[in-house]
Amino acid sequence: MINQYKDEDKVLLAVDCIIFGFDNEELKLLLIKRDFEPEKGKWSLMGGFLKKSEVLDEAASRVLQHLTGLNDVYMEQLYSFSKIDRDPVERTISVAYFALINIADHNSELSESHSAQWFGLEDMPELIFDHNAMVKHAIRRLRYRTATQPIGFELLPEKFTMRQLQKLYEAIFDHELDKRNFTKKINAMDLLVRLDEKDMTSSKKGSFLFKFDEQKYKKKVMDGFSFKV
């Protein structure tokens, strides 16, 4: 019984994290400078190998925490990448995850040991191995999820303006939205709480701040509500 797998091939299993952030204007990707061969000095996603004592979600959380210092962030398993020659050192299958981080709240927690840097998607450098394909896949999934679930709020600070929210959706979907139609659609969902506070940086009059009401959203979903932007 113990030796029934002895003749089977052994392969390495890795996890790679596509980490998205938003800086109030642009959707960004967190990359690191690879500090070992092969491809030393080139830009890479943050990744690591699965340990025997871990399940995949635990490994992805460990990798994310090691780079960002964060534990409680939105993260979702994306896809498995298994081309035979994807890693030139040894046969390695990678399970990719994507995570969403609000840059303003957490940028100071990022580790300096990996030369981590945020890049706008249009300014993203060429990545090692098949990491470019991972990012493209993650962007498609992010757009789908954002259109059908309120995960975009994970990229915003707790309090935000309607302009920030619109800029976020424009950044994710890569096209401009009509301000009046967007505001009307968001307000019709009745998921935001308008605060008695204003952001005074945008104009003398200021802009009201809002919060996402997660409890109301969960209750509305139980009642059959369907989120759609």
pLDDT at 100: 96
- Same domain as 37, residue 140: yes
Across the chain, mean pLDDT equals: 93
Q: What is the CATH number of the domain that holds 196?
A: 1.10.10.10
Domain count, the chain: 2
C-alpha to C-alpha distance for 164 and 103, rounded to whole angstroms: 13
Q: Is 88 among the domain residues?
A: yes
Among 148, 165, 186, identify where a domain stops: 148
- Same domain as 172, residue 138: no
pLDDT at 115: 76
Burial per residue of 171-210, b for 16 or more beta-carbon CB atoms within 10 angstroms, e otherwise: bbeeeeeeeeebeeebeebebbeeeeeeeeeeeeeebebb
Contacts of 40 (CB under 8 A, 6+ apart): 34
pLDDT at 69: 83
Q: What is the pTM assigned to this prediction? A: 0.93
- Same domain as 142, residue 55: yes
The answer to whether the CB of 191 falls within 8 A of the CB of 229 is no
Query: Would the pLDDT of 1 be above 60?
Result: no
| C-alpha closest to that of 72 among 61, 82, 81, 63 | 61
pLDDT at 107: 66
- Same domain as 27, residue 128: yes
- Same domain as 140, residue 74: yes
The pLDDT of 106-118, averaged and rounded, is 72
C-alpha to C-alpha distance for 169 and 32, rounded to whole angstroms: 26
- Same domain as 194, residue 130: no
- Same domain as 81, residue 46: yes
Model confidence pLDDT, tens digit, residues 113-132: 667 899 999 999 999 999 99
- Same domain as 112, residue 37: yes
Q: What is the CATH number of the domain that holds 27?
A: 3.90.79.10
Among 42-46, 139-143, 187-191, 196-200, the minimum mean pLDDT is found in 196-200
Beta strand residue intervals within 126-227, DSSP E = 160-161, 192-199, 207-212
pLDDT at 68: 84
- The proportion of the chain whose per-residue pLDDT surpasses 90, expressed as a percent, equals 81
Query: Would the pLDDT of 218 be above 70?
Result: yes
pLDDT at 204: 78
Give the bridge partners for 102, in sequence order.
22
pLDDT at 31: 94
C-alpha to C-alpha distance for 170 and 206, rounded to whole angstroms: 22
- Same domain as 192, residue 123: no
Q: Which domain, by its residues, includes 215?
A: 156-222
Question: How do beta strands 46-49 and 43-44 pair?
Answer: unpaired
More confident residue, 108 or 191: 191
Q: Is 229 among the domain residues?
A: no
pLDDT band at 4 (very low <50, low <70, confident <90, very high): confident
- Same domain as 99, residue 174: no
pLDDT band at 10 (very low <50, low <70, confident <90, very high): very high
Among 131, 148, 165, identify where a domain stops: 148
- Same domain as 187, residue 142: no
- Same domain as 76, residue 48: yes
